[in-house]
Structure 1
């Protein structure tokens, strides 16, 4: 399996972040969706984001610098199903659970502390976070207790592969829902920028929400663009 790619305007976003994971920071800054819309090309993303063609050269140069680093990450495309599942559980499922458990207490505290300062904002934030937490909890359970167990099986019948494909279709829909909720949170928090009246708790909530959102986007990209595509 290849370990590098040639980056150009026709490169799909899902493939780009698969082989160049650190580019996600730049894509997140520009609000370029590479997880649920990972099948778009860089050219299509540039057009939708109203960027000039120089952005392609920026990515090409950044990717060349990334390849020159001796300690770069192994591309997830080079991992087996079992290795990739283990990686997803270790660096995404577990840390994301920790984050949303911390946020669950903080968001509720924030709602009471600053209710008089920003009632509308905080009610929306509380509702959106609660919806996101519910989606993630149920989604992780389906992956860990059904999908990943089925994928780990070495020999699969055609019926078993069909069942996996059916589960993937459902889970991709849930990825889309989670992505839309996060986009609402980003918009309503003004790109995770705390208001002037923000106390340390509110600043911590915004920081942790930002961290959770970025990790979920990369998490979804690894599943949609790599693991799930193996069962298309």
Structure 2
């Protein structure tokens, strides 16, 4: 399998981030959805975002620098199903569960501490976070108890692959749901910018929400654009 890609206007976003994961922070800054809309081309994405074609050159230059690094990551496309599943579990499921647990405790604190400062804001944060937490926890267990074991099964029959495809359809819809919640949080918090009255706890909430959002977007991209596509 190929280890590098040629980046141009027709490169798909999902492919871009799997070969060049460092670009995700820049895409997040520009509100370019590469996880749930990973099948879009760079050209279509920058047109929708109102960005000039100079951005493609920026990405190309960044990718060239990335390739020159001795410590660059191996593209997830090079991994077997087993290796990619293990990577997703170790670098996404487990760390995201830790962040969810930390945020749950902090969210209750700022709900009480800052209710009088901006009750609409803290209620929105509390409600949206809990919706996201429920969505992710249920999603994780479906993957860990259903689809990942099915993908690990040796000598899969055509019926096995059809069953996997059916579950994937459901999981991709859940990815869309989680993505929508995160986009709502980003909009309502001005891209996770703490308000002027924020205490250290509230600033920690915003930082951890930002970290969680970035990780979820990359997590979804690896599944939608690589692992799940193997079963189309």
Unaligned runs of 5+ in 2: none
The residue that corresponds to 1:105 in the other structure is 105
Distance 2:107 2:120 in 1: 14
- Residue 219 of structure 1 deviates from its aligned partner by 0.2
Q: Give the 5 Å matches for 1:68-107.
A: 68-107=68-107
- Residue 185 of structure 1 deviates from its aligned partner by 0.5
The residue that corresponds to 1:122 in the other structure is 122
RMSD over aligned Cα atoms: 0.4
The residue that corresponds to 1:148 in the other structure is 148
The residue that corresponds to 1:4 in the other structure is 4
- 1:60-98: CA deviations, max 9, x gaps? 000001011111000000000000000000000000000
4+ residue runs of structure 1 moved beyond 2 angstroms? none
The residue that corresponds to 2:194 in the other structure is 194
Distance 1:177 1:95 in 2: 20
The residue that corresponds to 1:177 in the other structure is 177
TM-score when normalising by structure 1: 0.99
- 1:30-55: CA deviations, max 9, x gaps? 11000000000000011011000100
- Is 1:58 matched up with 2:58? yes
Distance 1:154 1:8 in 2: 37
The residue that corresponds to 1:32 in the other structure is 32
- Residue 109 of structure 1 deviates from its aligned partner by 1.0
- 1:12-34: CA deviations, max 9, x gaps? 00000010000001101111000
- 1:158-183: CA deviations, max 9, x gaps? 11110000000000000000000000
The residue that corresponds to 1:204 in the other structure is 204
Distance 1:90 1:68 in 2: 27
Distance 1:214 1:79 in 2: 22
- Residue 154 of structure 1 deviates from its aligned partner by 1.4
Task: Determine helix, strand or coil for the equivalent of 1:11.
Answer: coil
Distance 1:189 1:71 in 2: 34
Distance 1:122 1:192 in 2: 13
Unaligned runs of 5+ in 1: none
Instruction: Give the paired residue count.
Output: 232
Distance 2:195 2:141 in 1: 35
TM-score when normalising by structure 2: 0.99
